[in-house]
Amino acid sequence: MDRRSFLKTSALGGSAAAASTLAAPAYAQGRRTLTMVTTWGRGLAGVFDAAQRAADTITTMSDGSLTVEVKAAGELVGAFEVFDAVTSGQADMYHGADYYFVGQHPGYAFFTAVPFGMTAQELANWYYHGGGAGYHDQLGEIFGLKSFLAGNTGAQAGGWFRNEINGPEDFQGLKFRMPGLGGEALGRMGASVQNLPGSEVYQALASGAIDGTEWIGPWADEKAGFQEITQYYYTAGFHEPGAGLSLATNRDVFEELSPAHQKIIETAAAECHQWNLAQFLNNNGAALQRLQAGGVQVLEFPDSVWDAMGAAASETLNQYRSDDLYAEIHDSMKASMQASSGWLTRSEGQYRQQRDRVLG
């Protein structure tokens, strides 16, 4: 599929032409300004920080010759409209979670997270050394994007619930916010799954429009204020064991840039990926302690729920295998995950067990 040619002749391509004044690059004495749209509300802890970090790093590394102007969700386009805004040329780049765009291609889920998928370290191993980046680029070629990982939340929490979850049957009819293929899996368990931008989740939970939500983890969740609404918090989730964030530039725009500017974008994204992961992991422990001190009940799903989640995840992941590129990405990810897990479990995993046993 030649997405770039399609866009030029489609209705979307027509709207892009109408918005050409937004897309026109700004030049001044050899300088250029790129517009970054995001899937994040301004100030959302960690995720908007990652977008701003990448933008600022690009500007600094280029000594201002390449300036990135960040637009939060809703300031230029809506949170879930950033993909089309960049492919059409209405904006130059986006920062977001690529699993929001499984409607464009289900393979995009692997560059954020899939249920029972990779941890943050396993994702990095696959992406940088196991062929993952190449698959990200193959998807980008279809849709006119040049994409890089640019952030990671680490393992995400199972979420906030109004009532305890005692078995798989408790998901029947539950109105729950969860994006991506994890949300599809939860739907197979009987939940009524909602896909809401992060900036809309608090109000939906407070109003009763949803019964529960996952967001990220203790620090970002505390900042979002979910503990003001419900007190049942499940800290381990099946859906996003190491969620990557992405920076994607319109491919035509990227190819117009000098090799030095292209490398600056790539390097800034990689630096942001590591910086953002450390940001989340550094803040989560203290935030969890504060939540518990405030009365939040920290719980774990029973094994029966994990088993049901596993069955639903397998069905969800296998349903797209008729798409050759999806199947290839899935198999590559799984092989890399199994190879990484074997060593990590026997080295770091065993060390952590012994450290906790010895030091208490």
* pLDDT reported for residue 118: 98
232 DSSP β-pair partners: 161, 297
pLDDT mean across residues, the chain: 93
Residue 154 near residue 236 (C-beta atoms within 8 A) = no
pLDDT digits (tens, 9 = 90+) for 332-351: 999 999 999 989 999 999 99
- Domain residue extents for the chain: 3-151+243-281
Q: Is 191 helix (H, G, I), strand (E, B) or coil?
A: coil
pLDDT digits (tens, 9 = 90+) for 171-191: 999 999 999 999 999 999 999
* pLDDT reported for residue 360: 80
Encoded tokens for 287: 């935030």
The CA distance from 59 to 141, in Å, is: 25
pTM of the model: 0.90
Beta strand pairing call for 66-71 and 26-28: unpaired
pLDDT digits (tens, 9 = 90+) for 229-252: 999 999 999 999 999 999 999 999
Q: H-type helices in the chain, by residue range?
A: 3-9, 11-18, 20-23, 47-61, 82-88, 120-129, 132-143, 180-188, 198-207, 218-224, 251-256, 259-293, 303-318, 324-344, 350-359
The CA distance from 204 to 116, in Å, is: 27
Encoded tokens for 234: 């499940």
* pLDDT reported for residue 171: 98
* pLDDT reported for residue 6: 36
**Residue 29 confidence class, pLDDT cut points 50, 70, 90:** low
Q: Evaluate whether the domain defined by 3-151+243-281 bears CATH number 3.40.190.170.
A: yes
Tell whether the model's pLDDT for residue 3 goes beyond 60.
no
